[in-house]
């Protein structure tokens, strides 16, 4: 029996759709799980994680059959453990333990622990942004990442705590309540790390910073060590115009892909500041 589950691959700052195809059938090579579709080492290891997670969730792993898993398109490299959840659900569907049409039009992602609980994965925001421009408006993500996915309007986000809870939801025994997004884009963003008003002296330099901030100009600061260049640079984001919602989502996308996003503050509203050392190449 063949099952198809929607997922996604994060490539740079963008996400591309991936279809997880699972074929389960009797053959002379029972108990073999084959994973194809240009997977990296973390994806190939998902076979052992999903096997243990299915069994430890009280479900039946079809060990007496041959399982073939294809991550399409095959020419797109797949990285990371986010395919654990769609692979496990695909195995359960292909083996007849779940309805074959239970997840039509949905996107799944999540790393499975051996006990079946779901762990955080990076890149949820680009995947949610991709979903709003496609026909997939339903996302099943780890509960830790639900607030991040819900930043994109118009999506129905289900926070999944474990494989067992998702199976119970799809079977209709214990429905999962869709995540209700909070208002993260506030009228007053958090204060900057360095307040521009607290800098004393350097009136000409501060005036140049104000002009650059108002006009959106580039700025080059040159001076001896200890003159205050770094301090004023750190204070500059505090006088820049606040991020619009689209700009905030663009900055948050970078943090999401880099796995630097906090679950408590899923939306970055402060303009980023980076201070590379002068020896950087």
pLDDT, tens digit, 9 for 90 and up, residues 206-260:
999 999 999 989 989 888 888 888 899 889 988 888 888 889 999 999 999 999 9
pLDDT tens string, the chain, 281 residues long: the values are 899 999 999 998 999 999 999 999 887 677 788 999 999 998 999 999 999 999 999 999 998 889 999 999 999 999 999 999 999 999 999 999 999 888 988 999 999 999 999 999 999 999 999 998 887 889 999 999 999 999 998 899 999 999 999 999 999 999 999 998 777 776 667 777 788 888 888 899 999 999 999 998 998 988 888 888 889 988 998 888 888 888 999 999 999 999 998 877 888 888 888 877 778 76
| Contact residues for 239 (Cβ-Cβ < 8 A; gap 6+) | 196, 209, 210, 213
Assess if residue 39 is contained within a domain: yes
Is the separation of the CB atoms in 112 and 85 below 8 Å?
yes
Q: Return the pLDDT at 198.
A: 87
Residues 121 and 109: beta-carbon distance below 8 Å: yes
At 187 the pLDDT is 61
Distances in Å between the alpha carbon of 230 and those of 122, 139, 222, 238?
31, 43, 11, 14
**What length does the chain have?**
281
- Integer Cα distance of 225 and 273 in angstroms: 20
Q: What is the pLDDT of residue 52?
A: 96
How many domains are contained in the chain? 1
Alpha carbon 156 to chain centroid, angstroms: 15
Please check whether residue 227 lies inside any domain of the structure: no
Q: What is the CATH number of the domain that holds 159?
A: 3.30.230.10
pLDDT of residue 262: 82
Domain that holds residue 148: 2-171
Residue 134's pLDDT is 84
Does some domain include residue 262? no
Examine residue 94 and state whether it is found in any structural domain, yes or no: yes
State both tokens at 128: 């949610």
Q: Is residue 117 part of a domain?
A: yes
In a domain, 183, yes or no: no
CA 35 to CA 70: how far, in whole Å?
6
Between helices 46-56 and 84-94, what is the axis angle to 10°?
Answer: 60
- Is residue 121 situated within a structural domain? yes
- The DSSP 8-state label assigned to residue 66 in this structure reads E
231 part of a folded domain: no
């Amino acid at each position: 029996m063949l099952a198809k589950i929607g997922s996604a691959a994060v490539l740079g700052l963008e996400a591309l759709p991936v279809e997880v195809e699972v074929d389960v059938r009797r053959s002379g090579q029972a108990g073999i799980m084959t994973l194809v579709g240009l997977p990296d080492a973390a994806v190939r290891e998902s076979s052992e994680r999903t096997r243990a997670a299915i069994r430890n969730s009280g479900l039946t792993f079809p060990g007496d059959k041959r399982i073939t898993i294809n991550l399409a398109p095959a020419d797109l490299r797949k990285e990371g453990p986010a395919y654990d959840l769609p692979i496990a659900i695909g195995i359960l569907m292909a083996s007849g333990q779940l309805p074959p049409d239970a997840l039509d039009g949905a996107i799944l992602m999540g790393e499975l622990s051996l006990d079946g609980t779901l762990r955080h994965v990076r890149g949820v925001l680009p995947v949610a942004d991709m979903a709003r421009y496609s026909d997939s408006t339903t996302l099943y993500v780890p509960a830790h990442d639900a607030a991040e996915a819900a930043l994109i309007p118009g999506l129905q986000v289900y926070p999944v705590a474990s494989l067992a809870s998702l199976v119970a939801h799809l079977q209709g025994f214990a429905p999962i309540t869709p995540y209700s997004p909070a208002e993260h884009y506030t009228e007053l963003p958090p204060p900057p790390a360095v307040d521009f008003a607290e800098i004393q002296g350097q009136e000409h330099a501060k005036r140049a910073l104000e002009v650059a901030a108002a006009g959106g100009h580039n700025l080059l600061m040159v001076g001896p060590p200890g003159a205050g260049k770094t301090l004023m640079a750190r204070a500059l984001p505090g006088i820049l115009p606040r991020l619009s919602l689209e700009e905030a989502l663009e900055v948050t996308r970078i943090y999401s892909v880099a796995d630097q996003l906090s679950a408590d503050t899923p939306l970055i509203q402060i303009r980023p500041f980076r201070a590379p050392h002068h020896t950087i190449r």
